[in-house]
Amino acid sequence: MSDSRNCARDIDPATLQMKAVAKARGIETVWDRSDANTLCKFGAEGLCCKNCNLGPCRISVRAPRGMCGADADTIAARNLSRSVAAGTSAHSDHGRHLVHTLRMVAEGKTDSYRITDERKLMETARIYKIETDGRPALDIAQELADVLEAEFAYSAIPMKTLSQAPVKRQALWQKNGVQPHGVDHAVVELMHRTHMGVDHAFDHVEQASITASLADGWGGSMIATAVSDILFGTPRPLLSSVNLGVISADQVNIVVHGHEPTLSECVAAVCEDPRTIAYAKSKGAAGIRLSGICCTANEILMRRGVPVAGSFLQQELAIMTGAVEMMLVDVQCVMPSLASVAACFHTKVVATSKLAHTSGFETIEFDEEHAMEQARSLVTSAIDNFANRKKDSVTIPDARVEFVAGFSVRAIHEMLGGRFRSGLRPLNDAIIDGRIRGIAGVVGCNNPKKGLDGTIVPLVKGLIASDVLVLLTGCAAITCAKAGLLSPEAAAMAGPGLREVCEAVGMPPVLHLGSCVDNSRILSAACDVLAEGGLGDDISDLPAAGAAPEWMSEKAVAIGHYFVASGMLVLLGSPLHVTGGEKLNTLLTKDLETTFGGKFAWGSDTPTQVKIILDHIDKKREALGINTKRQRQLLDMKERRALDV
Ligand code: BF8
């Protein structure tokens, strides 16, 4: 198999080693397919329309309009909006599944789950104005499940979940008519408007994309995070390890992959059960090693410290170690190619979601009522498969990095302010006095077009060296963990101001906030920074930006939109598929800022990316009047008395 076109940018040695194994054994990987596929120019620019059978049409100089007369901007806007709809659907369906689990717990229909974080239940209930005083937790949970389920359907009033945004931002959304009235409604309306012959004004279509994206970020994703915390616990800082070296040579290896935490939580519990471990030992293994890929990994990492085998691009490589007895996949970011890779080894790949079947995978359909039973049966089957492992097919890279994860917003409050006076004052003060220049959320995927980790890591290093505190989610977090950026010692790579803050608190300069739906935690953190005071009264005032340097999935398109609509600059390592629509491109990268205070920026090389983010942060600092670094001054008694306090 050939080398990837961007292999020079692959900087993860474990991946390089496993790519060599793939080549030697003739096993095809995502990098080979990346080389083999000719990237479609029309698709990349948003200029291919297949929404009806007049075409499919491709816009070019010779044919500037499709058969129906739609121009480049209309076609690109419609294509983009359908990605926003798909991304919103993915996160929000995940949220809906969790609400369903919450309902089953509340109604006593499953004993596989319970309310783990009652404090979070109460906090969430209060957001929706649910009475909590003197009521049993399960009653409150039931009413909360009712309210949250209603957030998906159409309602005459905007979604209640939006109330968590700053008041000024809510008013801006209302003024611009982009408040969603229900997740499902926002997606259905968007799909209707982009049907052949309906909404042809590119800016009007984009407005509907923004509405749907808000139903994701401030709706489905916010709900998914809150309910996960209620059911499984709100994360606290914990130590774990990452990269393919977490796969164990002498234990039964089970890898969970996908996004939803419900089954994987039960699998984790079963793997810790001494009876299960004893069974594994009876089969000649030293124990059981559970690890994860993608955001299912992030979910059980954040709450249980379960090691992470790798990010999106490493899913095939994990199987290629030859030491994985079972890979359990649920939904999203699962490559169908896993079937052909697994066929070269003894690995069983089991699809567990009712929504997602793949040819060549075994299938069980997960149901919350029997979750523990199903988890036990799967783990037993993995243990039984240990005997089929071929020792001479095993190659496990010697790559395993320790790191700290578990930074929920509550944990950040407690870390900065202490358990009893938890709060963000020290963070706001550090931003105001310039020790921390600003905050960047670096999120999203890996993409073979960008080389493995070769774009995210240099960007994050450049930002922390410039005193920017970085918040991470998704595969970007896994990537930075592998590069050693998620340990307190990484403070040595930070600029002097950020380093001083990190060393005083004992925190890394780069904080892992969770899975992709947990981008909602970044929104919540932004709200709390504003509420703490001194940095404006809207998210667009903050010296903060978002970035997805290696974005790949449609979820990233939706995430980018809701961050922009929330008032942030969003930098993408390659443009959204819109550049063929000149007016649409200008709307996204310029004009949206006038309306929403946020916009997209495209930047493919690290110096450009760092500059775009720092320029934006500095512009915001200037607007806040905090652009000059204040020197901390030691005052004598006379000077203190002269202070007007
Ligand atoms: O939701 S970062 S590759 S795993 S889409 Fe997928 Fe992208 Fe990874 Fe998590 Ni998010």
* Gyration radius from the chain CA atoms: 24
Report yes or no on 66 lying in a domain. no
pLDDT for residue 334 is more than 90: yes
Judge if 331 and 434 occupy the same domain. Answer: no
- The answer to whether position 79 is within a domain reads yes
pLDDT score of 4: 44
Angle between the N-to-C axes of helices 474-482 and 294-304, in degrees from 0 to 180, rounded to the nearest 10? 70
Ligand 1 site residues (CB inside 6 A) read 259, 294-295, 312, 333, 444-445, 474-475, 515-516, 552-553, 555-556
Residue pLDDT, tens place only, 200-252: 999 999 999 999 999 999 999 999 999 999 999 999 999 999 999 999 999 99
Residues 546 and 464 in one domain: yes
Residue 327 has pLDDT above 60, yes or no: yes
Show the beta-strand stretches assigned E in 492-585.
510-512, 544-548, 569-572
Burial (CB < 10 A; 0-12, 13-18, 19+), residue 416, is buried
CA 7 to centroid of ligand 1, rounded, Å: 21
In a domain, 634, yes or no: no
The pLDDT assigned to 450 comes to 80
- Whichever domain contains 200, its CATH number is 1.20.1270.30
Q: How far is the CA of 518 from the centre of ligand 1 (A)?
A: 11
The stretch 432-443 carries a mean pLDDT of 98
Average pLDDT estimate for 260-266: 97
Residue 97 has pLDDT above 80, yes or no: yes
pLDDT value at 72 more than 60: yes
Residues 553 and 459 placed together within one structural domain of the fold: yes
CATH of residue 266: 3.40.50.2030
Shared-domain flag, residues 477 and 593? yes
How many whole angstroms separate alpha carbon 355 and alpha carbon 231?
Answer: 22
The pLDDT of 352-360, averaged and rounded, is 97
Co-location of 412 and 278 in the same domain: no
Is pLDDT of 77 > 90?
yes
pLDDT at 548 (0 to 100): 98
Residue 41 in any domain: the answer is: no
What span, in angstroms and rounded, lies between the C-alpha atoms of 591 and 497? 34
- Let me know whether 304 and 430 are in one domain: no
Please indicate, yes or no, whether residues 496 and 608 belong to a single structural domain of this protein.
yes
Residues 254 and 218 in one domain: no
pLDDT confidence of residue 628: 78
- Lookup: tokens for 451: 């080389």
For residue 1, name the pLDDT band (cuts at 50, 70, 90).
Answer: very low
| pLDDT for 641 beyond 90 | no
Atom of ligand 1 nearest to the CA of 444: 2
Per-residue pLDDT, averaged over 61-82, amounts to 98
Same domain as 127, residue 271: no
The reply to whether 495 and 601 lie within a common domain is yes
| Closest ligand 1 atom to 295 CA | 9
Residue 525 lies in a domain: yes
Residue 383: pLDDT over 90 = yes
According to the model, what pLDDT value does residue 421 have? Answer: 74
Tell me the percentage of the chain whose pLDDT exceeds 90.
93
Domain span including residue 518: 406-624
pLDDT of 451 reads 76
- Residue 38 domain flag: no
pLDDT digits (tens, 9 = 90+) for 605-622: 999 999 999 999 999 999
Task: Please tell me the distance between residue 91's alpha carbon and the centre of ligand 1 in angstroms.
Answer: 11
| Tens-place pLDDT, residues 550-570 | 999 999 999 999 999 999 999
Q: Domain tally for the chain?
A: 3
Tell me the helices (H) and strands (E) count for the chain, helix number first: 27, 16
CB 245 within 8 A of CB 399: yes
Q: What's the pLDDT at 422?
A: 81
Query: For residue 420, is pLDDT > 80?
Result: no
**190 and 277 both lie in a single domain:** no
User: Does residue 62 belong to any structural domain of this protein?
Assistant: no
Domain boundary among 372, 393, 414: 393
Domain boundary among 358, 393, 428: 393
- The yes-or-no verdict on residue 645 having pLDDT over 50 is no
Please list the alpha-helical segments (H only) found in 46-71: none
Asked whether the predicted pLDDT for residue 6 surpasses 70, the reply is no
pLDDT at residue 2, rounded to an integer? 37
Q: Which of 393, 425, 447 is the last residue of a domain?
A: 393
Q: Check residue 639 and give its pLDDT.
A: 62
User: Residues 465-516: pLDDT tens digits?
Assistant: 999 999 999 999 999 999 999 999 999 999 999 999 999 999 999 999 999 9
Q: Which tokens sit at 491?
A: 């403070």
The residue whose C-alpha atom lies closest to atom 7 belonging to ligand 1 is 445
User: Atom 4 in ligand 1: which residue has the minimum CA distance?
Assistant: 294
Asked whether residue 21 is assigned to any structural domain, the reply reads: no
Residues 189, 270 within the same domain: no
